[in-house]
């Protein structure tokens, strides 16, 4: 372990502006100069291609980021200390433990698993831990991990330690000069939860693939690792599938130029994987079904596009799959088989939320549960497992329909969204084999609070605006035991009724990054030997820093306070 002199520990500032906050962070107060033309990473042993690509990207951001410290003067007073500081020229990359390194030296051709292959497995198998050591004297730093994912997470941390000097950017010296302010540094870091996600609805309004890639890129800056792709809904079916299923997108998409082909999906999967993100595709069923499906076979859909839609659906157009139909069973089996071929990761999400009783002439959930929904979901899960995937469902499948909940496949991930009282223990009690992720709309929905999207009302949105603080104070273990392994984490969600690529950055960022810290850092973190509980006031200056850094990278993230406040930590809080 890096041993810091007591004097340095007393003088060291609070945790550097790293987001999400590391599990264990130790630092001093010695600046280190970084010359971007004379700095690099050295691999101690062979690395996968996507790790080399990540190193190139990290080097690019170190040179390209021009963020100055968020303080009055923007770090001008640091100039003389930086100019006189030791020069950090190298950080060494060590992938694997000592025994693995020895084996690699004996067999130089042995290359470990890629970032992509590691992230595209069940979250229980992920290893994202890393250790970063940067001495104060300019001698080489070390980034070590037992996984490519861990190296990738550590590389992002390194970019957030580095700042530029203000002014004089016309000279070559200051163009190339960056610095680290608080060496020596030792970080031992790993996530508290393995599932840290973001849902994007690309069905109600279409998002081009370049916009999705933009989301994935920023997700990687915040160490988010699961992209929940809500790719279809009643309004549109933009996913192109082969054979007779081609009708779904031909008739169900908004246009031939607003579809996702197999090549598009593979491109997104590959792009995400290299950035430490798994992609989970959702095709909701039996609810949220109309466009495209009704064109394939009208008998597949009940209560289609009813004019009095409020009786038949949560929003227009109405439509649900016809439960108990052999034609529906055949369609669903084929749909799952063909869609699963496009999914590189381990999950297939099928929704099962907002099942409308009126569509089935039912007066109670009990009438629908055991006779119709249970056998439907049983077949859906059998088909998903046959395709080698694990099901994901919304909470209704587990708690609104208890007989259906009992037969959810082993390992099914249930997503809790209503925030209803006691929903966590109810979900966990519904089936001992299910796992849970959080997305309560009161703390996780990024589309709400902007007024109704219905054309003939002045009513407010169904929920108030979710600030970064609303998510930050959320407790993932509320309703269960701290450390419960069945709580996998959670995600933020941007539904698409009033969203498209033109407003994407500002709606997502930096609010979605709030969840990244909740699920990476957990309830507490350790800084210079002192354990501290997660705190909004401590987090605020770091979130400012992260937000201004990604703005410098071209992301149009929404400011969370006036710049005056960002430069004066603590002066824009309510007086005590």
- The model's pLDDT over 379-398, given as tens digits with 9 standing for 90+, comes to 999 999 999 999 999 999 99
Catalytic residue annotation: 354
559 within some domain: no
Give backbone dihedrals phi and psi of 284, rounded to 5 degrees, phi first.
Answer: -70, 135
Give backbone dihedrals phi and psi of 375, rounded to 5 degrees, phi first.
Answer: -65, -30
CATH number of the domain bearing residue 164:
3.30.379.10
136 within some domain: yes
Q: Are 301 and 292 in contact (CB under 8 A)?
A: no
524 within some domain: yes
Residues 504 and 373 reside in one and the same domain = yes
540 within some domain: no
Residues 327 and 435 reside in one and the same domain = yes
569 within some domain: no
Q: What is the pLDDT of residues 179-196, one digit of tens each?
A: 999 999 999 999 999 999
Q: Where is the domain boundary, 528, 553, 569?
A: 528
Q: How sure is the predictor about 170, in pLDDT bands with cuts at 50, 70 and 90? A: low
Q: How far apart are CA 347 and CA 356, in angstroms?
A: 25
Residues 213 and 352 reside in one and the same domain = yes
CA 549 remoteness from chain centre: 18
543 within some domain: no
Say how many C-beta atoms besides its own lie within 10 A of residue 541's C-beta. Answer: 21
Q: How many domains does the chain have?
A: 2
Residues 383 and 522 reside in one and the same domain = yes
Q: When comparing pLDDT for 127 and 97, which is higher?
A: 127
What is the model's pLDDT at position 168? Answer: 57
564 within some domain: no
Query: ω before 404 within 30° of 0 (cis)?
Result: no
Q: In terms of residue numbers, what domain contains 321?
A: 195-528
Q: How far apart are CA 167 and CA 226, in angstroms?
A: 39
CATH number of the domain bearing residue 435:
3.20.20.80
Longest distance between any two alpha carbons in the chain, whole Å? 79
Residues 119 and 208 reside in one and the same domain = no
Beta strands 177-189; 278-282: pairing state:
unpaired
538 within some domain: no
Query: ω before 286 within 30° of 0 (cis)?
Result: yes
Residues 210 and 97 reside in one and the same domain = no
Q: How far apart are CA 218 and CA 195, in angstroms?
A: 17
Q: Where is the domain boundary, 165, 190, 215?
A: 190
**What token pair was written down for 383?**
């088909």
Inter-helix orientation angle 511-521/536-552, to 10°: 120
Say how many C-beta atoms besides its own lie within 10 A of residue 72's C-beta. Answer: 11
Does the pTM of the predicted model rise above 0.75?
yes
Instruction: From residue 308, give the alpha-carbon distance in Å to each of 305, 312, 356, 368.
Output: 9, 7, 14, 22
Across 42-47, average pLDDT: 96
SS3 of 248, please?
helix
Residues 287 and 157 reside in one and the same domain = no
Beta strands 177-189; 195-201: pairing state:
unpaired
In the predicted structure, residue 15 carries a pLDDT above the cut 80: no
**What token pair was written down for 483?**
């450390």
Q: How sure is the predictor about 167, in pLDDT bands with cuts at 50, 70 and 90? A: confident
Give backbone dihedrals phi and psi of 436, rounded to 5 degrees, phi first.
Answer: -130, 140
Instruction: From residue 437, give the alpha-carbon distance in Å to each of 16, 334, 480, 513.
Output: 29, 28, 13, 17
Q: How far apart are CA 389 and CA 240, in angstroms?
A: 20
Q: Which H or E run includes 216?
A: helix 209-221
Residues 96 and 225 reside in one and the same domain = no
Q: How far apart are CA 281 and CA 356, in angstroms?
A: 23
Residues 175 and 241 reside in one and the same domain = no
What is the model's pLDDT at position 4? Answer: 38
Residues 383 and 257 reside in one and the same domain = yes
Across 481-510, average pLDDT: 97
In the predicted structure, residue 431 carries a pLDDT above the cut 70: yes
Q: Which H or E run includes 33?
A: strand 24-35
Q: Where is the domain boundary, 171, 190, 209?
A: 190
Any residues with CB less than 8 A from the CB of 144 and at least 6 apart, and which?
Answer: 93, 94, 95, 130, 131, 132
471-485 residues labelled b (16+ CB within 10 A) or e (exposed): bbebebeebeeeeee
Q: Are 162 and 62 in contact (CB under 8 A)?
A: yes
Residues 260 and 353 reside in one and the same domain = yes
Q: Are 232 and 205 in contact (CB under 8 A)?
A: no
Q: What is the pLDDT of residues 358-378, one digit of tens each?
A: 999 999 999 999 999 999 999
Residues 160 and 277 reside in one and the same domain = no
Query: ω before 510 within 30° of 0 (cis)?
Result: yes
Instruction: From residue 62, give the alpha-carbon distance in Å to each of 34, 86, 163, 402.
Output: 9, 18, 8, 53
SS3 of 546, please?
helix
């Amino acid at each position: 372990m890096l041993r810091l002199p007591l004097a340095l520990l007393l003088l060291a500032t609070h945790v550097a502006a790293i987001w999400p906050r590391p599990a264990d962070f130790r630092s001093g107060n010695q600046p280190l100069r970084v010359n971007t033309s004379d700095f690099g990473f050295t691999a101690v042993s062979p690395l996968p291609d996507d790790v080399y690509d990540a190193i190139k990207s990290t080097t690019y951001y170190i040179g390209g980021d021009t963020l100055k410290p968020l303080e009055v003067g923007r770090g001008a007073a640091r100039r003389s200390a930086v100019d006189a500081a030791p020069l950090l020229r190298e950080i060494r990359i060590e992938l694997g433990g000592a025994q693995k390194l020895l084996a690699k030296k004996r067999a130089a051709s042995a290359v470990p698993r890629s970032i992509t292959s590691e992230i595209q497995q069940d979250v229980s198998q992920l290893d994202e831990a890393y250790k970063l050591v940067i001495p104060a004297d300019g001698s080489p730093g070390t980034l070590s991990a037992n996984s490519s994912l861990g190296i990738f997470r550590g590389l992002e941390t390194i970019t957030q330690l580095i700042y530029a000097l203000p002014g004089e950017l016309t000279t070559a010296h200051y163009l190339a000069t960056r610095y680290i302010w608080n060496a020596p540094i030792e970080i031992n870091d790993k996530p508290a939860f393995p599932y840290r996600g973001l849902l994007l609805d690309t069905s109600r309004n279409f998002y081009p693939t370049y916009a999705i890639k933009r989301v994935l890129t920023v997700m990687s800056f915040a160490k988010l690792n699961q992209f929940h792709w809500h790719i279809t809904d009643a309004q549109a079916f933009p996913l192109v599938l082969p054979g007779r299923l081609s009708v779904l997108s031909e008739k169900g998409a908004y246009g031939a130029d607003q579809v996702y082909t197999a090549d598009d999906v593979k491109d997104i999967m590959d792009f995400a994987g290299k950035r430490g993100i798994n992609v989970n595709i959702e095709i909701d069923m039996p609810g949220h079904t109309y466009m495209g499906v009704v064109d394939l076979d009208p008998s597949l859909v009940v209560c289609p596009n009813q004019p009095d839609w409020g009786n038949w659906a949560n929003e227009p157009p109405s439509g649900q799959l016809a439960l108990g139909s052999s034609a529906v069973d055949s369609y669903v089996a084929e749909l799952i088989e063909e869609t699963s071929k496009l999914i590189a990761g381990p999950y297939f999400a099928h929704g099962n939320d907002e099942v409308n009783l009126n569509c089935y002439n039912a007066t109670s959930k009990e009438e629908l549960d055991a006779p119709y929904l249970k056998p439907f979901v049983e077949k859906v899960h059998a088909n998903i497992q046959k395709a080698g995937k694990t099901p994901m469902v919304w909470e209704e499948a587990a708690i609104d329909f208890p007989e259906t909940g009992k037969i959810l496949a082993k390992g099914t991930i249930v997503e809790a969204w209503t925030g209803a009282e006691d929903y966590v223990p109810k979900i966990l009690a519904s089936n001992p084999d299910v796992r849970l992720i959080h997305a309560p709309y009161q703390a996780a929905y990024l589309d709400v609070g902007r007024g109704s999207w219905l054309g003939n009302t002045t009513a407010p949105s169904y929920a108030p605006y979710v600030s970064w603080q609303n998510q930050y104070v959320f407790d993932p273990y509320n309703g269960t035991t701290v450390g419960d392994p069945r709580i996998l984490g959670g995600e933020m969600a941007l539904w698409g009724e009033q969203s498209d690529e033109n407003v994407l950055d500002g709606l997502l960022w930096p609010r979605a990054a709030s969840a990244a810290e909740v699920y990476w850092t957990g309830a507490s973190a350790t800084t210079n030997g002192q354990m501290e509980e997660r705190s909004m006031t401590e987090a605020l200056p770091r979130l400012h820093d992260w937000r201004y850094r990604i703005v410098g990278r071209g992301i149009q993230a929404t400011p969370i306070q006036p710049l005056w406040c960002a430069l004066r930590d603590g002066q824009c809080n309510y007086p005590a």
